Amino acid sequence: MKKVQRRAGSALLIALLLMAGLALYLVRLADDGGAWATYFTGGSPAGQIVDRNGALLYSSDGQSASFAADEAVRRACYHVTGDTRGNVATGALSQFRDSLMGYSFVSGTSSGKTLRLTVDSSLNAVAYEALAGRDGAAILLDYTTGEILCMVSTPADDPQNPSAEPADGTYINKAIGASFVPGSVYKLVTLAAAIDNIPDLFERSFWCGGSAQLQGITLQCTGSHGSQTIEQALANSCNCAFGEIALELGYDVLLEYAEKLGITAQLELDGMEVRRGSLDWESEDMDIGLAWTGIGQHNDLVCPYALVRYVAAVANGGSVYEPTLLGHGELDRQTELLSAGTASKIASMMDYNVEAAYGEGTFPGLDAAAKTGTAEVGDGTSHAWMTGFLNDPEHPYAFVVLVEHAGGGRVNAGPVANALLQAAVAASPAQADAAQ
């Protein structure tokens, strides 16, 4: 009997295996429960999505969904909200489904939650209208909190009445999900590397004769700028000066700064992967290729999100609260991109740009600092860029505007940026109320 009794313990091995299996399940459940629970709920999970002022962007009882009443707002917020067919993968309906459905490990799903986003749908509408049917993207964020107030991508669709044959690029949120040739806005990145690595940068003068010969190949400039300080070179957006700087820094330093400033890093917005930018220069591309790399041409690609994040750091003294659409419950961790000294130098130079080159009329009544970009795409057209921020503690906004194939940066992206900033400043008292 005793023998059999001892052997009987072998049955407990099965019990042990069962417990191990159960433990494995519980771990998986804790990890992926939210994704599992919300997988089969269809495109219109019950709940509401509202903007920072409480304006309704999406509402559903689980069966039928409705969006904002105004079609312009619906289109302007198309990429932020997402659609019921799951075409916009980066939309809140896809990305923040867990919080919308109120999933938690303890209580499972509980329908009818309200998800509040940091965007202001009326600012989105302003940006959308200012883009006026052109393709592009715009982001405006509060650089003291990281909250994204406006994020628009065009072309957009109406989520209430989705089009059967939408225009190319409709489902992509270009603000975070695509990268573009940056052109001269990229000089801000090269500039940061130059300030840190060229000790006598501010004592030097840069000569521009309208073009430069690099190993026998001509580097064309936007004008003939003569002798300039670095401030003037940035304001003139002088290719000769920045080509010279790029050659002096070398590709490795350019790469290092692209990574460090987040241009080519893998960034995340509330858990969503943001499109990475890229630089690509080989030695057979010769000096001319390296010079253009520093100027934001050649093979450079930048995501608007990465650029505005960098500019926000410049405005915020070198560090940035990671941008968010959901809000940071508590502001705790900043990411340091560059030193406070470098940041303040770049900030004052961007200030000087507006003052000296773009003219106060670009942003009437606003104390703005900015940099334009006119990125040659290669098909004869140019992307128009404008990025910058307001030097105003009441309205600490950083922005980026991209208008594809639109031509000059100041002329085409500038007015969109101005419209957006003016609306943001005008709207901010309401925003302050809402925050209370």
Partner 1 sequence: MENLPDMTGYIMQGSKYILPALALWVLLRCLRSMLRERYEPETWAYLVDLNGTEHPVNHWECIVGRSRSADIVLDDPTVSRMHASLQRDGDGDWTLTDLRSRGGTYVNGEEAGAWESVGDGDEIDFAAEATAFREISGAERERLERRRSAPGRSVGPGVTLLILSLFQAFLALEFTVTADGEHLYSICLAFFALMAAEWFCYLFMRTLGRTGFEPETLAFFLTTLGLEVCATSTPEDMFKEVVLILAGVALFFFLGWWLRDLERVKRTRWLAAAAALGLLALNLAMGEVRGGSMNWLELGGFTIQPSELVKVCYIYAGAATLDRLFARRNLFGYIAFSAVCVCALALMGDFGTAVIFFATFLVVSFLRSGSFATVLLAVSGAGLAGFLVLSVKPYIAQRFATWGHAWEDVWDAGFQQTRAMSAAASGGLFGQGAGEGWLKDIVAANTDMVFALLSEELGLIIAVTAMLAVIALALFAVRNAAQGRSTFYVIAGCAAVSLMMVQMGLNVFGSLDILPFTGVTFPFVSKGGTSLLSCWMLLAFVKATDTRRDASFVVRRERRRVRADEREAYPEDYDGDGDYYDEGEEELR
User: What is the rounded distance in angstroms from the CA atom of residue 9 to the CA atom of residue 93?
Assistant: 52
Is the Cβ–Cβ distance between 274 and 90 less than 8 Å?
no
* Contact between 52 and 116 (Cβ < 8 Å): yes
The CA angle 389-376-165, to the nearest 5 degrees, is 90
Q: Residue 63 interacts with partner 1 (CB under 8 A)?
A: no
Asked if residue 164 binds partner 1 (CB under 8 A), the reply is: no
CB of 112 to partner 1, least distance (A): 14
Strand partners, 217: 214
The residue (of 36 and 207) whose beta carbon lies closer to partner 1 is: 36
Site for partner 1 contains 365 (CB under 8 A): no
CA angle 334–335–341, rounded 5-degree value: 100
Q: Are 58 and 81 in contact (CB under 8 A)?
A: yes
C-beta closer to partner 1: residue 31 or 71: 31
- Least Å distance, CB 177 to partner 1, is 23
Tell which positions 93-112 bind partner 1, by CB under 8 A.
Answer: 103-109
The distance of closest approach from Cβ of residue 405 to partner 1 in the complex, given in angstroms and rounded to an integer, is 40
Assign 392 to helix, strand or coil. coil
Residue 380 binds partner 1 (CB under 8 A): no
Phi-psi group of 169: left, alpha or beta (phi > 0 → left; psi -120 to 50 → alpha; rest → beta): left
Least distance to partner 1, CB of residue 159, Å: 24
User: Minimum distance from CB of 42 to partner 1 (Å)?
Assistant: 11
Show contacts with partner 1 in window 19-58 (CB under 8 A): 19, 21-22, 24-25, 28-29, 32-34, 36-40
Beta carbon nearer to partner 1, 103 or 385? 103
Distance CA 365, CA 352 (A): 16
Q: Label residue 108 left, alpha or beta by phi (over 0 means left) and psi (-120 to 50 means alpha).
A: left
- Nearest CA to 150 out of 432, 416, 347 is that of 416
Sheet holding 148-154, edge to edge: 148-154, 136-142, 397-403, 382-390, 368-376
- Specify the residue, 19 or 435, whose C-beta has the smaller distance to partner 1: 19
Question: In sequence order, what E strands does 125-277 have?
Answer: 136-142, 148-154, 206-208, 211-214, 217-220, 226-228, 268-269, 272-273
Residues 6 or more apart whose Cβ sits within 8 Å of residue 22: none
Q: How far is the CB of 61 from partner 1 (least distance, A)?
A: 15
Does position 202 interact with partner 1 (CB under 8 A)? The reply is: no
Query: Least distance to partner 1 from the beta carbon of 97, Å?
Result: 12
Our CB check for partner 1 shows the closer of 18 and 426 to be 18
Measured from the CB of residue 20, what is the shortest distance to partner 1 in angstroms?
Answer: 10
Q: Check residue 209 for interaction with partner 1 (CB under 8 A).
A: no
Give the C-alpha separation, 148 to 137, whole Å. 14
Nearer to partner 1, 10 or 220 (CB): 10
Taking contact as CB under 8 A, which single stretch among the options 15-23, 78-86, 343-351, 360-368 is the one that binds partner 1? Answer: 15-23
Is 61 a binder of partner 1 (CB under 8 A)?
no
Nearer to partner 1, 5 or 283 (CB): 5
**Interface size with partner 1, residues (CB under 8 A):** 38
Which residues make up the interface to partner 1 (CB under 8 A)?
1-12, 14-15, 17-19, 21-22, 24-25, 28-29, 32-34, 36-40, 103-109
